[in-house]
Chains A and B, each alone.
Chain A
Amino acid sequence: MTHYILEIAQALLALLLAPLLVGFVRWVKARLQNRRGAPPWLPYFELAKLFGKEVVMSNNASWLFRFAPTIVFASALAVTFLVPLIAAPLPFDNVGDLLVVVYLLLLGTFFLALAGLDPGTAFGGMGASREMTVAAIAEPTIALAIFGLALGAGSTNLGRIVTATLANPGVAISPGHLLAFAALFIVTLAETGRLPVDNPSTHLELTMIHEAMILEYSGRYLALIEWAAWLKLTIFFSLLANLFVPWGLATVLTPATLAIAVVTLIIKLAVLGLVVAVVETRVAKLRLFRVPELLGLSFVLALLAVTSSFLLR
């Protein structure tokens, strides 16, 4: 029974932290740009506002348009049951490994891209096309990073990766892990629609990717999609934080360890948020056709990571 409570508590924690994380990144960015910025908790109000508004739906759209937000949200939420946020190994560790996590997120992307095409606008199609391009080219890096991590642990199960690193702390600073971290960090920027791949604060420019795809959404549907996107950011950050630097995660379930785990998780997320905010302030958005070069770089990093793990084994 405690197992289920732990899992549900972890998912609820992710749901609650996600808006705050995005608000925090925005706030830090504003400060770095000499603006006062909106308070970090503004996204909660955004959600409340969107959930209170009516939905306006295109008359060309089909049932798929109405179904997509729920499945996008559900796939992201399902992943929060599998990713170790506060404890490892999780009770649901045998339900899905790292590959399941990646492909569940791809399930959400797939339906979101279809929903982008559904209303028949040029913007939606453009967003869908670009999102799928970026997702497809990011895929090999993710797979190789998984390979690199699995190599150390002998398993793709998230719990076993974490416990392997905890048991052998030297692995965390091995070249294989560091390179894989760098590769996965670049992919995180691409997959969650951050600069320099996509600009999360742009609207109605020909450069947008994610925002173009969801342009037709409003009301509760938009709220679900936004929340799912923020969840995705939280998930990728937690993967970066807890797979490579697993210290702080509760391996035994006592109130004290869990409290420590929650606090360290928040600190880790904040640090990563800070880094992303700095990156977003310092770099300009890449032209769309330069993005594959960036992802190619991340692929090479991941390949080097795996090769060095092999040779240094």
Chain B
Amino acid sequence: MMFLFLLMLSAYALGAVGALALGHGTLGRGLAALGAVVGAGAGFTLGVVALVSGQSLSVGVPLVLPLTGFALRLDGLGAFFLVIIGLVGASAALYGFGYSAAYEGRYSLRMMGAMLNVLLLSLSLQVLAENALTFLLTWEMVSLSAYWLVLTEHDQPGTVRAGVWYIAMTHAGFAALVAMFLLLSGGELTTSFAAMRSKSALLAPPARDAVFLLALFGFGSKAGIVPLHVWLPMAHPVAPSHVSALMSGVVIKMGIYGLVRMALDLLGGGPVWWGGVVLAIGAVSALLGVLYALMEHDLKRLLAYHSVENIGIILIGIGAGLVFHSYGLMTLAALGFIGGLYHTINHASFKGLLFLGAGSVLHATHTRNMEEMGGLIKRMPWTALFFLIGSAAISALPPLNGFASEWLVFQSLLGGFNIPVPEVAVLMPVAVGMLALTSGLAAACFVKAFGITFLALPRSPEAEHAHEAPLSMRLGMAILALACVGLGLAPFAVAPMLGGVLNGLGGLPDTRLAFTLNVSLQMPDAFAQMSPTLVASGLLLILTLVPLVMWALRVNRKLRVSDTWGCGRVGQTPRMEYTATAFAEPLRRVFAELYRPSRELTIDFHPESKYFVQSIEYKSDITPLFDRWLYDPFLRLVRFAAGQVRRLQAGSLHLYLVYVTLVLVLLLLAARWF
């Protein structure tokens, strides 16, 4: 294990140095990608070895950095997240090798390659951190390297603004985290997590509540919970696509890691309202995320809103787990956490895949606007297939991975009737309804995303002349597509593994045996059973039998290709196709109260007669709720306050001397009386 750990560190370091030194050209890009792929591969293997063997790994401090105060330790939870980092990191880096070729001569490949390695390195160290100092330092390294990567295409409109929003939100969160650790450790940041675990139980309840709320804010700003999600739909689209995949697949997951580590492990659970708040935030994030995604026609922004949705689903599982934990229903609590964590790795794989797929489309068509796409399934068959797998997985369709984890989350919520307090128990069905609505809307949204992007006729010349992505990009997508299928077929292995990860955290029991290792996934107390493996084999069997039977029965097998039927019109043009806006229109009307779209219709009539229209212009826009009601007033307040403060800065030296004198007098008076 130590060897793998050192290999991971040195590969990332060499990748970063190689990229900085060689920079541009195939060699530089190759070195950066090689370092990241080897490092991520080693990290992945290390995580798997740790998970399978159940061992933990403590790394001697002098070995890593000759500084005092550093502590690294790999346990089950960290190993699980290391697997996620390795999986998405390796695919994104491989993909990035081909993808960044287009950046040659336009943007700094040196920085991009180096920062990619630094990001992966700091993420890997993050989940190994064993004290507050290490945790905070790696947290900041992750934030800064990701910020640098977001700014890669710095001359594009919106990039700098997105970067500023990202860095501001993440630092607001960072401040909360520093406060949280100071509160928890009593001011000593080098206190190990092990010491904090025992210390946290002795804290007064109000202090524990404060720690929890600070954790929720700090980690939530990273994870992108509503209403702290605003940076996601800005930063994810403008980053290079493999970086978007990493950010959405891995970086925001650090918020989940932190929350589980803090609320369950270090604090050891808390009162019911902790879980209730997490559950409520999860449900609201899930629903609002998917609702705003539906209205989005920028492919990557749409995916970014879906990250908000999926973080919500993860938090529904974790919140349910915390609620059950507070009532001492430990098996159900483990089930909720397992559902949440399972969805974490699932979201990492399918969202990573979808961002890489969107990147291939962007690479080929140079646009993110879905209304200019179409017909790409014929021009980019591999990308289309991978994107379809990702779309089906995120829509929770069996037998892919999204279904397996949503099923577990559903089951944990259905266990809510075991809660002794009816007022709390009745809230569970509401969460079930919101989760179900979310998954239904997600399916609708991905019919739109895949259908408008890849099917029918191309809507622009760029889409018409699109080309398939190069081999390295296809390979990167293939890894994640395989992960989507594999994780979907094997919940009977993943769920007990996660039971092992959670074993002992916050007093959770060992639930490895509660889930049978048969092909069917059996819930504790035989609450429910299902087997995606058998469902998949049954589907495959029927899919092969149907054509065979049709052939045996001598069904007419002729097929004639002809024009699309069009009510008598002669030719078909892309203008006659349904657009993404039109597709989402029924849902926009259904949820009009939420969206409050602005409409602007200008009709230019012929001067001679109103029956002839020269042109029609239709504009519609949706301002997200939180921009209007939360951030705009807040920003106005800050600007107003800054304007007021500016009056002090008159620029006159005499005035400043008066200030100095005044402050001096006040201080002297204060010293006299207090």
Q: Chain A residues in contact with chain B, CB under 8 A?
A: 51-60, 62-64, 70-71, 73-75, 77-78, 81, 92-97, 99-100, 103-104, 106-107, 109-110, 113-114, 117-122, 124-126, 128-130, 132-133, 135-140, 142-144, 146-147, 150-151, 154-157, 204, 215-216, 219-220, 224, 288-289, 292, 299, 302-303, 306-307, 310-311, 313
- B541-560 CB contacts (< 8 Å) to partner A: 542-543, 546-547, 550, 553, 555-560
- B interface bracket (residues with beta carbon within 8 Å of A): 35 or more
Contact present for B429 and A59 (CB under 8 Å): no
Given contacts A73-B546, A310-B417, contact A94 B422 (CB under 8 A): no
18 pairs from A and B in contact (CB 8 Å cutoff): A51-B556, A60-B572, A64-B388, A71-B539, A95-B529, A100-B398, A103-B397, A110-B397, A113-B451, A114-B451, A120-B564, A124-B578, A136-B440, A137-B440, A143-B432, A155-B527, A215-B565, A310-B425
Q: How far is A214 from B426 in the complex, measured between Cα atoms in Å?
A: 41
Partner of A144 from B374, B429, B543 at Cβ < 8 Å: B429
Q: Is B152 an interface residue (CB 8 A)?
A: no
Residues of B within 8 A of A55 (CB): 556, 558-560
Contact present for B451 and A128 (CB under 8 Å): yes
Q: Would you give the 0/1 interface string for B424-459, flagging 1 where the beta carbon is closer than 8 Å to chain A?
A: 011001101111110111011011101110011100
Q: How far is A210 from B457 in the complex, measured between Cα atoms in Å?
A: 22
Residues of B within 8 A of A92 (CB): 534
Closest 4 CB pairs of A and B: A125-B578, A139-B440, A120-B456, A143-B436
Given contacts A57-B561, A70-B543, contact A97 B439 (CB under 8 A): no
Q: Would you give the 0/1 interface string for B27-57, flagging 1 where the beta carbon is closer than 8 Å to chain A?
A: 0000000000000000000000000000000
Q: Is B562 an interface residue (CB 8 A)?
A: yes
Contact present for B440 and A135 (CB under 8 Å): yes
Contact present for B590 and A289 (CB under 8 Å): yes
Contact present for A96 and B586 (CB under 8 Å): no
Partner of A122 from B435, B550, B578 at Cβ < 8 Å: B578
Q: Is B538 an interface residue (CB 8 A)?
A: yes
Contact present for A136 and B443 (CB under 8 Å): yes
Contact present for B578 and A129 (CB under 8 Å): yes
Q: How far is A97 from B404 in the complex, measured between Cα atoms in Å?
A: 12
Contact present for B450 and A60 (CB under 8 Å): no
Given contacts A54-B556, A103-B403, contact A220 B590 (CB under 8 A): no
Report B255 CB to chain A, min CB distance, Å: 27
Contact present for A220 and B534 (CB under 8 Å): no
Contact present for B562 and A95 (CB under 8 Å): no
Residues of A within 8 A of B199 (CB): none
Contact present for B590 and A128 (CB under 8 Å): no
Contact present for A51 and B534 (CB under 8 Å): no
Q: Is B190 an interface residue (CB 8 A)?
A: no
Partner of A78 from B411, B440, B450, B538 at Cβ < 8 Å: B538
Nearest residue in A to B442 (C-beta to C-beta)? A136
Residues of A within 8 A of B539 (CB): 71, 74-75, 78
Given contacts A117-B451, A140-B436, A143-B433, contact A54 B572 (CB under 8 A): no
Partner of B582 from A104, A125, A151, A216 at Cβ < 8 Å: A125
Given contacts A78-B538, A107-B398, A156-B411, 19 further A-B pairs with CB under 8 A are A60-B572, A95-B531, A96-B398, A96-B531, A97-B529, A100-B535, A103-B397, A103-B403, A117-B455, A120-B374, A120-B456, A121-B566, A125-B456, A129-B585, A132-B443, A138-B440, A157-B528, A220-B550, A306-B429
Q: How far is A103 from B399 in the complex, measured between Cα atoms in Å?
A: 9
Contact present for B586 and A289 (CB under 8 Å): yes
Contact present for A96 and B535 (CB under 8 Å): yes
Contact present for A155 and B526 (CB under 8 Å): yes
Q: Is B407 an interface residue (CB 8 A)?
A: yes
Contact present for B530 and A94 (CB under 8 Å): yes
Q: How far is A157 from B557 in the complex, measured between Cα atoms in Å?
A: 40
Residues of A within 8 A of B447 (CB): 110, 113-114, 117, 128, 132
Report A265 CB to chain B, min CB distance, Å: 22
Q: How far is A311 from B526 in the complex, measured between Cα atoms in Å?
A: 24
Q: How far is A268 from B546 in the complex, measured between Cα atoms in Å?
A: 29
Q: Is B121 an interface residue (CB 8 A)?
A: no
Q: How far is A81 from B535 in the complex, measured between Cα atoms in Å?
A: 10
Q: Is B74 an interface residue (CB 8 A)?
A: no
Residues of A within 8 A of B443 (CB): 106, 109-110, 132, 135-136
Contact present for A224 and B529 (CB under 8 Å): no
Report A132 CB to chain B, min CB distance, Å: 4
Contact present for B530 and A307 (CB under 8 Å): no
